[in-house]
Structure 1
Amino acid sequence: MATDRDVLPSWVKPSHYSLSLHDLEFGGNFTYQGAAEINVDIQNGANQWTEIVLNAFQLKIHSAELKLGHVEKDVPPRQAKNITYDEKRQRVTLGFGDETDLIQYSGEGVLTVKFEGVMNNVMAGFYRSKYKPKGEVPASVARDDEFHYMFSTQFESCDARRAFPCFDEPNLKATFDVLLEVPEDQVALSNMPEKEVRPSSKSGFKTVLFDRTPIMSTYLLAWAIGDFEYVEAFTKRKYNGKSLPVRVYTTRGLKQQGEFALENCHQVVDYFSEVFQIDYPLPKVDLLAVHEFSHGAMENWGLITYRTTAVLFDPNTSADSYRNRVAYVVAHELAHQWFGNLVTMDWWSELWLNEGFATWVGWFAIDHLYPEWNVWGQFVTESVQTAFQFDALRTSHPIEVPVYDGLEVDQIFDHISYLKGSSVIRMLSAHIGEKVFLQGVADYLKAHQYKNATTNDLWSALSKASGQDINSFMDFWIRKIGFPVVTVAEEPGQISIRQQRFLLTGDAKPEEDETVWWIPLGLKTGSSASAAAVHKIRALTQKEDTIRDIDDSFYQINKDLTGFYRTNYPSKRLLKLGEAKDYLSVQDKIGLVGDAYANAVAGYGSTTGLLALLKPFHNESEYLVWSQITTTMGNVRNVFSDVEDISAGLKKFTLELVSPAVEEIGWEFKDGESYLTGQKRAALIATAGLLGHPATVAEAQKRFDLHISGKDTNAINPSLRRAIFSTAVKNGGETAYNAVKNEYFNATSIDGKEICLQSLGRVQDPALARDFLSFIFSDKVAMQDKHSGTIALSSNSTVRIEVWHFIRDNWDLVFKTLSGNMVVLERFLRFGLNKYADEQVADEIKGFFEREGMETRGFDKGLAVIDDTIRGHAKFRVRDEKVVREWLGANGYLR
């Protein structure tokens, strides 16, 4: 047993599960009965043993028996004499002997466990989701006075043990037979197609047996039961001579909203089969919309489950931004069918192998399907910048991080594993070439299919494909914390560059700055931005270096931001790059703005340099650049929100920046208009409306009133609902607040409730903010949605403090409501409390959670991120307050 991991005893391993569930109680306590017959391989040598340990959590074990391979047929199996639970470690020990009845046996055996479980309401294990149906519903469907219920599973990372007793570790792979007893008029789904449907002994029920799965990890097993219908398509590519069926399942009345996901799905399956040079290995692909879901989606092999807003889209009622979300999430989960399911990480410390790669290749597929979306510009402004934000904290962690036991892993399903992981994969792919990179990936998958693999296995395959020692320059990116900033100093005809660890607080100690990263420079230089060419120097491999033959007229580092590092230019060079922006790519401009802001926060650069850089961007035409600009200025305004004159000056500056663009783009969506133009309109109107741009506020309120009154149901384009609702709530007081809350209850579009909650977070009255928080924690808001409004409220400087006060004063309620699923609780706290820039608030939060008797396991890493973020921004505010005030005054923004 590995000493750095708390894993199950290694001498018993499963090879096959026959799992059956019956007597499901669709109401009351929502219990079910089950039996798990597990074929095990016992390799204990000459040692004598009496017990078998496996994982179980919140299950009641009725009995267990063990039949060993050498037992004669007329000799009964051994019955478990003792069944003991370890709730903290989520294990059950089955004792089959004692000191006088020792077992000495190695070989095959069959362990049969009968148990009882609960279809819970915490979005983990085998659980129930509430919804309001559309159309006639069979009488057998579970319901209460207000809602109906569907049932599905969510097992990653360690929640299969909530549903059935098992060996719940990723490298303990096995095959599975699943049998479900369900009502005759409902649908049962699992990873594989139905093998047989036969009547049950219980009246009105049927028994559904599914085909045997391939060998796989427990966390990928899945099943679902409900009043489902589907839309169907078939792959164009043939698999074993046949096109594969591809289906999107929904509860009744929603299936047509699965058409967009369906169209993407079959194309992506075919595309990945070609890219990875391995055919999709299962006989079907099912996508299931689940009404309550803790994550965005889950890659269960052959039965992929999704939050409704990540798989359903109605072109008539959905905001167009959800089109992008659905396409990407579908592709991300399909990537896992190979990278994660076919080849699985050996242990949770290498989670990034699953998530980092699926993130990158998901966008890769969407770029193939929708080249007009400028996917890599979106990746840079969303994924890369977010990864930078979290990795700039002392409380970050390496991409590959030690995990002691499976219960720790939920907190590393974070932006480092997903977004930094995908960012460094993009960097590596750019360096060795996309074609070579994908060939190495295909070789890796072929070598390890149906097995587990490590990061080093991937590096070996890529090294062979590229002829380069990948591990030598990628190891630090994966196994060391943080990332560098490259600081540039200019001399005539040359530049000096120096790398150091980038920290939000800008104060890396020598012992924190020992890593020497391999840094691909992406250096271009020439007589102008339009004439610049790639420089022959390709990488920085030491702390400092000097590069000659630089044309002073123009040079640029980290072209297209393919390298995962910040660049800190001299202030005059930063301005020159801003003046040359029309010759830079979208990714270049996003990187320029993002780097300038980050360097200002850390103290490597200055806030005044950032503001000067942004002044010429008032005529910017690209949506994704505007997205970076508005996010950046929102962050700056957030930090200085409590400094009255600076806050007003920054608001005036931002309004001056966006006013020409919002006035030019107008309110109407034109036929044939590009997706990115529509997104720019929505973003600019939202920004201008919340900043108080008079014409925008007036038009938003006019359209809001027409919509709410029912005078014109088409007054608000679906893509402008968030912008208009948010502006109305900010400016309309209690009347608008109540109107949007009513809209929440009556929302018919899939994205409607989410948009309403985000808009309600724009209230300006502390009393309304408190009412909103109470509403969020009522039964009226689904568990999965409780963070949506809280994040919006935490970004609202006027009433932000109410979020912390509510958590502090209602901790028992918050904990009771969310702690059944620690992923949900940790994310709620992290995103709800990380917007402050006040050391006093940081002290209060820290003191509250360090009280005697406070148990923070499961969200302690999130608390550390909150503390680090608040203190970093507080330091920034104190340091730059004077110079920002002076710059705003000198440039006419304080009058």
Structure 2
Amino acid sequence: MATDRDVLSDDVKPINYAISLFDLLPKAPWTYQGTVTIDLKVKNATKSIILNTHELKVHSACVSHESGKTASSIKASNISYDTKNQRCTLSLDQELPQSEKAVLEISFEGTMNSSMAGFYRSKYTPPVPASKGVAKDDEHHYMFSTQFESSDARRAFPCFDEPNLKATFDFELEIPEDLTALSNMPEKEIKKGKTAGTKIVSFDRTPIMSTYLLAWAFGDFEYVEDFTRRKYNGKTLPVRVYTTKGLKKQGMLALESAHQVVDYFSEIFRIDYPLPKVDMLAVHEFSHGAMENWGLITYRTTAILFDEYASDQKYRNRVVYVVAHELAHQWFGNLVTMDWWNELWLNEGFATWVGWYAVDYLHPDWNVWGQFVTDSMQTAFQLDSLRTSHPIEVPVRNALEVDQIFDHISYLKGSSVIRMCAAHLGVETFLKGVSEYLKAHTYGNATTNDLWSALSKASGQDVKAFMDPWILKIGFPVVTVAEEPGQISVRQSRFLTAGEVKPEEDETTWWIPLGLKTGPQATDAQREPFTTKEDTYRDIDTSFYKLNGDQTGFYRTNLPPQRLLELSKALDKLSVQDKIGLIGDAGALAVSGDGTTAGVLMFLEGFSVETNYLVWSEVLSTLGKIRTTFSDDAEISKALSKYTLKLVTAATDNVGWTFNPGDDYLKGQLRALLLQTAGLVGHEGVVAESQKRFKAFVDGDKQAIHPSLRSAVFKISIKNGGKEAYEAIKHEYITTTSIDGREITLQSLGQVQSAELAQEYLKFGFSGGVAIQDVHSVGASLANNSKTRLEVWKYIKVNWDMIHEKLSGNMVVLERFVRMCLIKNSSVDVEQDIQAFFKDKDQTGYDRGLAVVSDTIKGNARYKERDAEAIREWLKAHGYA
């Protein structure tokens, strides 16, 4: 056991839990009664048992054991709570002797809370008549489900709530007889409940697993079903998507993907899916995107439901990817679990990479690796280029610290370095090593070094040696290139957005795969990885070369300015990933001071004829960062809008408004992106057409706006339509029956142009009109808007006590709100104001988020101060100002 961890005593270890929940109260105070019987191995004689509880009331506890032929029972004479550390101590009447098996019985009371953590309730409005037994009040109906990761099983029942304290679980639940109960395993038995009109549903025993993977749910559910095509123990497996009544048809896309992915992963991991079923459940209120509970995966509705006729097409991609990601965890995380939370990246980084790998298998036409580079990699770079970043593998003292580690470093940097390693070893070799790792640690826990050992054995290379710096050190490198005829010299140093890297911050030497493409055909020029601070590569065809081919390496490249310009004239030789990488690098280097904004703007002009959605996405994301940073300088801001309009006009006019039957997924996304961008910077034709369609939509013609253009039309209409448009879209938020409608309307409402409407929107967000899981969308959408950004900060300062009280029941929700509402500022004064405001506040659970905000704003402010006059001059010289 690592000495830097604050963990439970190892005197006792759980072997099996038998949990029974009953007397569930379907109204305030929403309590339930429970018993848990835990089979224990007693390693050391003890007079107390410490386990985890949070917001539970333990009524009584006793432990029985056998000594020789004599059975005896020891009561807990005192039950005390350590609220801060979420622990409960059962002080025993007499010493519990060392034993291979003792049985601890606990009677307790819990609450089905509304915090989206532990055992909780979700409110919804059913589209069809509901069953009689559904819990409801004057406004809403309720379903019930669990969310235990990272450390909230302890909110539902007393347990040893740490990932390496694995056990098996028996579970039963008393519910109204016309509702459906689900858990990790198939239903074992249904019998009559103690109360009239109820039934007790019990489930088969689970395999050995961590507490955070246990799950159950009940409600007015229906399902769609399919079966795997492969056979497992001689039978195909049932795969189901469960929803509350009236929504099951929207589970078909997820269902169609899931059975294929289960079979695909069983093949590439060379281990059959280990459970007898796959259930997936749409949950109406959900703090995360989804949760990989073994055999009962839970999802936010927009991550699993999709309407072929009414959903924005971008959600098609989201559903397929999230389903693949969560199914990957059934092996990587569930079958083999990280030993402790510091290695969370093992679960999340791998599931992210292999999730995209599966989507690429299902939909090769989606160019998912281009999407990965523009979304995942660039987002990881952004966080990891801050001084306040952290290594992929980060020390976690206790489980209560871990929620803030579920971030872009664990998921996106983790998956990026996995992709880099897989590309270097060869994907087949890499997956063979993964298979050996899974087989060696099945039903157990493992460490990062265990994975490296398996990959080293499969590849014959010392994987630990070259991967350790990527996992254990903070940050990533920028490779700076100098040219001479026939050769290039390269130098690696740590990249920081703020620039001015200090010597003590630049001590890591990374192993860097060069991925060099050269010559007229941009062919792969095999070179050894770059493993020193500086090196020279000779025999290079410098008429054309590109480092980091297809952006498989997690590093930025700083090319000579003239080379960047030449590459912008040779875009036909570059892959989609190459183009995205060059754009992202150029934009980031301008921020750090290693490049210039004028250079970026000149480079981006070469993309006006681009036709690929993913490349345009990166062009406009990079341009958006520049526009956000300089948005409070009216002259520069106006000129950048003019520049953006000129850049996108030809492509926007070309792509048009009409979705043709032959259009592929990416073309539809390009149309939505270009129309939104053009309309928001004042393209007269797009604004006029948007307002025309919006009026028809509001007047009752719901076909007037294509589902994938709602976001564009709503945002453009609100920006140009004032209070009337705001009220119309707020009404759409309240009344929409579309699964994605609420997310789309919330993001659109942030385009209001006045302080009064911004404050009104924030009040609406916190009045109960917006679900807690979505409140961050209210603040973030206003923070993305230069006209209303400061209104969000004003609102937070005035209403902090209320905000903290509403959101702190789930610290993931609070941290996300604070970070997303404040991070777009670029003023030193605002940063100092934020620091001063939070100085005397308890920052538990969101301190990392505040540090990221502070570091980002400081970097933005330095960038703005350094480049403002140069960008102003360039824009004037080129006719934009």
Q: Normalization by structure 2: what TM-score? A: 0.99
State yes or no: 1:667 paired with 2:657.
Answer: yes
Distance (whole Å) between structure 2 residues aligned to residue 343 and residue 518 of structure 1: 28
Instruction: Map 1:783-862 onto structure 2 (within 5 A).
Output: 783-851=772-840, 854-862=841-849
1:617-654 Cα deviation digits (max 9, x unpaired): 11001000000011111110000001111111111111
Mean Cα displacement is larger for which, 689-698 or 134-143?
Answer: 134-143
Q: CA contact under 8 A between 2:391 and 2:472: conserved in structure 1?
A: yes
* Residue 865 (structure 1) aligned to one of 839, 852, 872: 852
- Secondary structure of the 1:32 match is strand
Aligned partner of 2:469 in structure 1 is 476
Distance (whole Å) between structure 2 residues aligned to residue 41 and residue 211 of structure 1: 22
1:796-838 Cα deviation digits (max 9, x unpaired): 0011001111111100111011000001100111111100000
Q: CA contact under 8 A between 2:66 and 2:72: conserved in structure 1?
A: no
Displacement after TM superposition at 1:69 (Å)? 2.5
Aligned partner of 2:64 in structure 1 is 67
Aligned partner of 2:330 in structure 1 is 337
Aligned partner of 1:614 in structure 2 is 604
- Secondary structure of the 1:546 match is strand
State yes or no: 1:33 paired with 2:33.
Answer: yes
Q: What amino acid sits opposite 2:785 in the alignment? A: N
- Secondary structure of the 1:520 match is coil
* Residue 326 (structure 1) aligned to one of 316, 319, 334: 319
Aligned partner of 1:22 in structure 2 is 22
Q: What amino acid sits opposite 2:783 in the alignment? A: S
Displacement after TM superposition at 1:71 (Å)? 7.3
Displacement after TM superposition at 1:49 (Å)? 2.5
Aligned partner of 1:366 in structure 2 is 359
Q: What amino acid sits opposite 1:644 in the alignment? A: A
Displacement after TM superposition at 1:104 (Å)? 3.9
Q: What amino acid sits opposite 1:688 in the alignment? A: A
Displacement after TM superposition at 1:238 (Å)? 0.4
State yes or no: 1:386 paired with 2:383.
Answer: no
- Secondary structure of the 1:242 match is coil
State yes or no: 1:699 paired with 2:689.
Answer: yes
* Residue 731 (structure 1) aligned to one of 713, 717, 720: 720
Distance (whole Å) between structure 2 residues aligned to residue 524 and residue 52 of structure 1: 62
Q: What amino acid sits opposite 1:84 in the alignment? A: S
Distance (whole Å) between structure 1 residues aligned to residue 526 and residue 55 of structure 2: 61
Aligned partner of 2:118 in structure 1 is 125
Q: What amino acid sits opposite 1:314 in the alignment? A: D
Distance (whole Å) between structure 2 residues aligned to residue 2 and residue 36 of structure 1: 29
Distance (whole Å) between structure 2 residues aligned to residue 612 and residue 662 of structure 1: 20
- Secondary structure of the 1:409 match is helix
- Secondary structure of the 2:18 match is strand
Aligned partner of 1:95 in structure 2 is 91
Q: CA contact under 8 A between 2:65 and 2:72: conserved in structure 1?
A: no
Distance (whole Å) between structure 1 residues aligned to residue 696 and residue 68 of structure 2: 79
Instruction: Map 1:150-189 onto structure 2 (within 5 A).
Output: 150-189=143-182
Distance (whole Å) between structure 2 residues aligned to residue 535 and residue 232 of structure 1: 50
Aligned partner of 2:489 in structure 1 is 496
Displacement after TM superposition at 1:552 (Å)? 2.3
Distance (whole Å) between structure 2 residues aligned to residue 201 and residue 117 of structure 1: 19
1:753-781 Cα deviation digits (max 9, x unpaired): 11000000110011000000111111111
- Secondary structure of the 2:608 match is helix
Q: What amino acid sits opposite 1:864 in the alignment? A: A
1:206-234 Cα deviation digits (max 9, x unpaired): 01110000000000000001000000000
Q: CA contact under 8 A between 1:522 and 1:538: conserved in structure 2?
A: no
Distance (whole Å) between structure 1 residues aligned to residue 707 and residue 525 of structure 2: 47
Aligned partner of 2:75 in structure 1 is 79
- Secondary structure of the 1:341 match is coil
Instruction: Map 1:427-826 onto structure 2 (within 5 A).
Output: 427-526=420-519, 528=520, 531-710=521-700, 712-826=701-815
Instruction: Map 1:202-351 onto structure 2 (within 5 A).
Output: 202-351=195-344
Q: CA contact under 8 A between 1:759 and 1:789: conserved in structure 2?
A: no
1:649-694 Cα deviation digits (max 9, x unpaired): 1111111100000000000100021000000000001111111111
Q: CA contact under 8 A between 1:520 and 1:563: conserved in structure 2?
A: yes
1:416-440 Cα deviation digits (max 9, x unpaired): 0000000000001110101101111
Q: CA contact under 8 A between 1:328 and 1:362: conserved in structure 2?
A: yes
Aligned partner of 1:888 in structure 2 is 875
- Secondary structure of the 1:500 match is strand
Displacement after TM superposition at 1:72 (Å)? 5.6
Distance (whole Å) between structure 2 residues aligned to residue 76 and residue 34 of structure 1: 24
Q: CA contact under 8 A between 1:517 and 1:541: conserved in structure 2?
A: yes
Distance (whole Å) between structure 2 residues aligned to residue 112 and residue 768 of structure 1: 56
Q: What amino acid sits opposite 2:2 in the alignment? A: A
Distance (whole Å) between structure 1 residues aligned to residue 2 and residue 711 of structure 2: 51
Aligned partner of 1:876 in structure 2 is 863
Q: CA contact under 8 A between 1:523 and 1:538: conserved in structure 2?
A: no
- Secondary structure of the 1:576 match is helix
- Secondary structure of the 1:496 match is strand
Displacement after TM superposition at 1:103 (Å)? 4.2
CA RMSD in angstroms comes to 0.9
Distance (whole Å) between structure 1 residues aligned to residue 503 and residue 798 of structure 2: 41
Q: What amino acid sits opposite 1:5 in the alignment? A: R
- Secondary structure of the 2:170 match is strand
Q: CA contact under 8 A between 1:317 and 1:749: conserved in structure 2?
A: yes
- Secondary structure of the 1:785 match is helix
Distance (whole Å) between structure 1 residues aligned to residue 673 and residue 528 of structure 2: 37
Distance (whole Å) between structure 2 residues aligned to residue 508 and residue 113 of structure 1: 56
Displacement after TM superposition at 1:65 (Å)? 0.4
Displacement after TM superposition at 1:698 (Å)? 0.6
Q: CA contact under 8 A between 1:57 and 1:161: conserved in structure 2?
A: yes
Distance (whole Å) between structure 1 residues aligned to residue 530 and residue 636 of structure 2: 39
Distance (whole Å) between structure 2 residues aligned to residue 602 and residue 441 of structure 1: 37
Q: What amino acid sits opposite 1:117 in the alignment? A: G
Displacement after TM superposition at 1:536 (Å)? 2.9
Unaligned runs of 5+ in 1: none
- Secondary structure of the 1:490 match is strand
Q: CA contact under 8 A between 1:393 and 1:865: conserved in structure 2?
A: yes
Distance (whole Å) between structure 1 residues aligned to residue 873 and residue 131 of structure 2: 69
Unaligned runs of 5+ in 2: none
State yes or no: 1:135 paired with 2:125.
Answer: no
Aligned partner of 2:406 in structure 1 is 413
Distance (whole Å) between structure 1 residues aligned to residue 702 and residue 386 of structure 2: 47
Distance (whole Å) between structure 1 residues aligned to residue 778 and residue 366 of structure 2: 28
Q: What amino acid sits opposite 1:249 in the alignment? A: Y
Q: What amino acid sits opposite 2:741 in the alignment? A: G
Q: CA contact under 8 A between 1:34 and 1:115: conserved in structure 2?
A: yes
Distance (whole Å) between structure 1 residues aligned to residue 15 and residue 799 of structure 2: 47
Q: CA contact under 8 A between 1:247 and 1:262: conserved in structure 2?
A: yes
Q: CA contact under 8 A between 1:599 and 1:606: conserved in structure 2?
A: yes
- Secondary structure of the 2:606 match is helix
Identity, in percent, stands at 64
1:432-490 Cα deviation digits (max 9, x unpaired): 10110111101110111100000000000000001100001000000100000001111
State yes or no: 1:425 paired with 2:412.
Answer: no
Q: What amino acid sits opposite 1:24 in the alignment? A: L
